[in-house]
């Protein structure tokens, strides 16, 4: 310990406030990190917030030998009140708030003070390291770099306002919220009435928001001066409580109160930042509500529903401050869905709010249309935009306000003037506007509104009065997305929550995976019609994982798409493990899959992962599409996980009803890690059929570009038609063999590295005469093709998997 250092009660350079509640195990480290600061002219105010352990004794011991330490005891009123008490007693020109289980570097306070004093700063911002203790109660993954932003902020040591800082770095996740990352001018705090919201958790969110709005001079230092401790029993690692839930709504109200207090309610930057902070807070706190959490909060459901209603009203109010736009209707409904999802409770009051919000959409559109100069006779108006969207807008205008009386001319960026017409009006190129007598232009585009505006202004300056009907709103007037959300909410309210989330569907080029997705949706429609089905693509899960988890209720059924990626062969296998871990309380069903592990170190690692993660889940069912994978599952995962043999979902499709003339041979052979054939063997197959006088074409089961959901059906049919046009297909690709089966196309199949081709053939297709399997490519040369009857006739796919699909539906519903 250091010798006694006397300062007394006089003014000092910096006050460090340490709120303490039952942190005796960590308090010495926190206090001593303050006492060894290279800046000696400091005071340390320790606010004992009604601790029941030895925290007060520890604090008093330090107070007894160093006059810089001052201990104040209060009844237990929470972290916010303890910080506020410390701030009221502070004598320092600057103030820093340190949590009692964390610590700071020796030069932290001096560095911050020097920059603040030299540059007359309101706030100094810096970063933090993370220290993780053994956690028994906290299972979420901890990001060790969560409080570092030196890779984000590209202009450190620069003086800027809080507004500039938020404008530059909010979208890049550079605006970290904790109070222990802020070194503040005490006068700045007191003059702006900056305090922590009493009695609430997550008080740093509101404090940060107010500080950013008020600050004129801040600076970021790219140094991790602070270390944050993750430990059992802390506010952040302890379980969800009613007080935490209520605090979310209280903080939301506090944010809005601060917005109006600082007169920023009409500043779009701050209203949008408030919306961002609100949604992030909800997702952080309610990101993974468990069944236990729901039961803990159920006795207080009436109070929580009341607060949810207030939060929704406030959210809509804030959105409306950004201007009356159709997009605020959808965004409000999205927020309502996010609010009600974690607990699955939805009140009549909230449904009534949703109904009222939806009713306002046409009023907003009517007001937008009423501001347009389309009802003035003999006036010529330019309309920039001449596609389907513009056509809808003009039709909607006539429905709401009657016939258009103005004379119109349509403007186009690329078309030649007076060569085409739209709605029987002339189309003129934007470069020829001077040839027509117009004074006003209406832009009818939501995607290219700014680009079109700039096209006009860059050519003609302020010559024309320009009407932008969207003004940055990205919700097209003809969008029906808001109605989908509204209808979902109504179903939840009327019939309860019956929702399936089909997870990790493809957007890539592999047509086979899209066939699985297409078949899955047809299965849901046919066998589970009472369930709403939401799709989360692989890209959505990877990019918005936290949001996906937050928007999933524990009663939602998570269904992972089928395929061949469980194991170590493809990177997608890792995401299956992550999904299973992300939804520990949900029923999870994995649609028919193949399991394969490479015989190497990575394969062994994946075996252990699969065993550990799958066995740990409370309600996991896995469907395997061949006996081989089912056998591997029993060996590597064991008997505890519920496993079933089910056909590949694509086998439930049927494209054999329409037959066509077939000719030539199609080779569909792999060139990736799953293929077993060498280039020499592939050439041998091709030459064999060429020598027999056949036309030989080559193809694969991949599309030229990534396949969007809305194009799945079209792409699948295109590939099926290509396959059906050949009298014989040679393939080592599973879904090419399946495509042949379901289209009635003769096929010779060769196995691949995971044995899934052989497995699916043996389990499901071996009785189909127009599908043959060979163990070696050389067997292709010994087949007597003239006697293969199915090569020369129409074949129809007659397999019926009704029994299996009913069983799969029962597995998903939890019935046996």
CA distance 807 to 815: 9
Task: Name the burial class of residue 415, with classes exposed (0-12), middle (13-18) and buried (19+) by CB atoms within 10 angstroms of its CB.
Answer: middle
Q: In what order do the strands lie in the sheet with 771-774?
A: 696-699, 665-668, 728-731, 747-750, 771-774
652: Cα separation from own chain's centroid = 31
Question: What's the confidence (pLDDT) of residue 474?
Answer: 85
Q: Residue 492 contacts by C-beta under 8 Å, 6 or more apart in sequence?
A: 340, 344, 346
Confidence label for 138 from pLDDT (cuts 50, 70 and 90) = very low
CA distance 71 to 88: 14
**What would the pLDDT profile of 337-355 be if each residue is shown by its tens digit?**
999 999 999 999 999 999 9
Confidence label for 2 from pLDDT (cuts 50, 70 and 90) = very low
Question: What's the confidence (pLDDT) of residue 137?
Answer: 52
* DSSP conformational letter for 706: P
Asked if 294 contacts 343 with a C-beta cutoff of 8 angstroms, the reply is yes
Alpha carbon of 473 to those of 449, 468, 694: distances in Å? 9, 10, 58
CA distance 445 to 389: 7
Is the model's pLDDT at 134 over the cut of 90? no
The SS3 call for residue 383 is: strand
Mean pLDDT of 588-610: 92
Mean pLDDT of 198-210: 94
Question: What's the confidence (pLDDT) of residue 169?
Answer: 94
Mean pLDDT of 591-597: 93
Asked if 28 contacts 109 with a C-beta cutoff of 8 angstroms, the reply is no
CA distance 25 to 523: 57
Confidence label for 3 from pLDDT (cuts 50, 70 and 90) = very low
* DSSP conformational letter for 8: T
Among 142-146, 151-155, 544-548, 740-744, which range has the highest average pLDDT?
A: 740-744
CA distance 677 to 540: 35
Confidence label for 472 from pLDDT (cuts 50, 70 and 90) = confident
CA-angle at 108, arms to 107 and 109, nearest 5°: 100
Question: What's the confidence (pLDDT) of residue 6?
Answer: 40
- The 3-state secondary structure of 591-648 reads EEEEEECCCCHHHHHHHHHHHHHHHHCCCEEEEECCHHHHHHHHHHCCCCCEEEECCC
CA distance 710 to 405: 38
Is the model's pLDDT at 774 over the cut of 70? yes
DSSP strands (E only) in 356-473: 380-384, 407-412, 421-422, 425-429, 440-443, 465-468
Higher pLDDT, 251 or 546: 251
Count other C-beta atoms under 10 Å from residue 341's C-beta.
22
Q: Kindly state the tokens that stand for 800.
A: 């019926």
Is the model's pLDDT at 398 over the cut of 80? yes
CA-angle at 158, arms to 152 and 164, nearest 5°: 70
């Amino acid at each position: 310990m250091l010798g006694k250092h006397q300062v007394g009660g006089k003014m000092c350079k910096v006050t460090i406030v340490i709120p303490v509640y039952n942190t005796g195990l960590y308090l010495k480290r926190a206090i001593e990190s303050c006492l060894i600061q290279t800046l000696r002219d400091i005071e340390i105010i320790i606010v004992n917030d009604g601790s029941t352990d030895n925290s007060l004794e520890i604090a008093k011991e330090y107070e007894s030998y160093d006059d810089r330490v001052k201990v104040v005891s209060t009844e237990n009123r929470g972290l916010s009140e303890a910080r506020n008490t410390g701030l009221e007693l502070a004598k320092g020109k600057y103030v820093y708030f340190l949590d009692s289980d964390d610590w700071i570097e020796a030069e932290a306070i001096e560095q911050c003070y020097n920059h603040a004093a030299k540059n007359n700063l309101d706030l100094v911002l810096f970063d933090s390291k993370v220290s993780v203790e053994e956690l028994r109660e906290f299972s979420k993954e901890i990001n060790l770099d969560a409080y570092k932003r030196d890779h984000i902020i590209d202009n450190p040591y620069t003086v800027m306002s809080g507004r500039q800082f938020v404008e530059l770095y909010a979208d890049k996740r550079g605006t970290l919220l904790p109070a222990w990352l802020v070194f503040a001018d005490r006068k700045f705090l007191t003059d702006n009435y900056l305090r922590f919201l009493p009695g609430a958790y997550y008080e740093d969110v509101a404090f940060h928001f107010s500080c950013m709005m008020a600050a004129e001079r801040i600076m970021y230092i790219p140094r991790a001066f602070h270390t944050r401790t993750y430990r059992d029993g802390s506010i952040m690692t302890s379980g969800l409580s009613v007080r935490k839930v209520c605090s979310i709504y209280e903080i939301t109200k506090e944010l809005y109160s601060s917005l109006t207090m600082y007169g920023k309610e009409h500043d779009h930057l701050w209203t949008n930042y408030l919306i961002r902070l609100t949604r992030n807070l909800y997702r952080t706190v309610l990101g993974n509500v468990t069944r236990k959490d729901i039961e803990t909060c159920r006795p207080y459901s009436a109070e929580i529903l009341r607060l949810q209603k207030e939060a929704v009203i406030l959210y809509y109010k804030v959105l409306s401050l950004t201007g009356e736009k159709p997009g605020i209707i959808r965004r409000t409904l999205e927020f309502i869905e996010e609010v009600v999802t974690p607990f699955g409770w939805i009140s009549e009051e909230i449904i009534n709010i949703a109904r009222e919000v939806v009713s306002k959409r046409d009023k907003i559109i009517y007001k937008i249309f009423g501001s347009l100069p389309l009802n003035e006779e003999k006036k010529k108006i330019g309309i920039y935009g001449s596609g389907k969207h513009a056509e809808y807008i003009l039709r909607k205008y006539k429905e709401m306000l009657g016939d258009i009386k103005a004379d119109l001319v349509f403007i186009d960026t690329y078309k030649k003037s007076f060569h085409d017409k739209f709605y029987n009006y002339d189309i003129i190129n934007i470069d020829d506007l001077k040839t027509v007598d117009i004074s006003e232009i209406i832009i009818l585009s939501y995607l290219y509104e700014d680009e079109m505006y700039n096209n006009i202004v860059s050519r003609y300056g302020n010559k024309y009065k320009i009407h932008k009907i969207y003004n940055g709103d990205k919700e097209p007037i003809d969008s029906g997305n808001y109605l989908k959300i509204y209808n979902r909410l109504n179903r939840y309210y009327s019939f309860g929550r019956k929702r399936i989330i089909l997870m990790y569907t493809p957007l890539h080029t592999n047509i086979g995976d899209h066939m699985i997705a297409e078949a899955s949706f047809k299965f849901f429609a046919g066998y589970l019609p009472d369930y709403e089905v939401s799709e989360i693509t692989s890209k959505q899960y990877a990019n918005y994982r936290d949001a996906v988890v937050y928007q999933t209720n524990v009663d939602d059924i998570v269904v992972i798409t089928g395929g061949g990626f469980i194991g170590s062969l493809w990177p997608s296998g890792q995401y299956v493990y992550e999904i299973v871990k992300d939804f520990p309380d949900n029923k999870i069903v994995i649609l028919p899959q193949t399991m394969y592990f490479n015989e190497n170190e990575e394969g062994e690692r994946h075996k252990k992962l699969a065993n550990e993660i799958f066995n740990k889940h409370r309600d996991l069912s896995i469907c395997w599409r061949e006996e081989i994978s089912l056998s591997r599952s029993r060996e590597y995962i064991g008997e505890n996980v519920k496993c079933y043999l089910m056909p590949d979902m694509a086998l439930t499709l049927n494209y054999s009803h329409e037959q066509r003339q077939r000719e030539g041979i199609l080779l569909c052979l792999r060139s990736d890690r799953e293929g077993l054939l060498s280039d020499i063997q592939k050439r041998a197959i091709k030459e064999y059929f060429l020598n027999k006088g056949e036309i030989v074409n080559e193809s694969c089961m991949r599309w030229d570009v990534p396949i969007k959901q809305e194009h799945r059906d079209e792409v699948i049919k295109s590939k099926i038609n290509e396959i059906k046009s050949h009298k014989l297909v040679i393939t080592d690709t599973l879904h090419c063999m399946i495509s042949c089966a379901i289209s009635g196309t003769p096929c010779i199949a060769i196995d691949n590295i995971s044995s899934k081709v052989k497995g699916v053939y043996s389990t499901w297709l071996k009785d189909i005469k127009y599908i043959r399997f060979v163990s070696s490519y050389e067997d292709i040369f010994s087949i007597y093709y003239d006697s293969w009857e199915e090569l020369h006739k129409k074949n129809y796919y007659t397999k019926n998997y009704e029994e299996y699909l009913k069983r799969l539906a029962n597995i998903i519903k939890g019935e046996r």
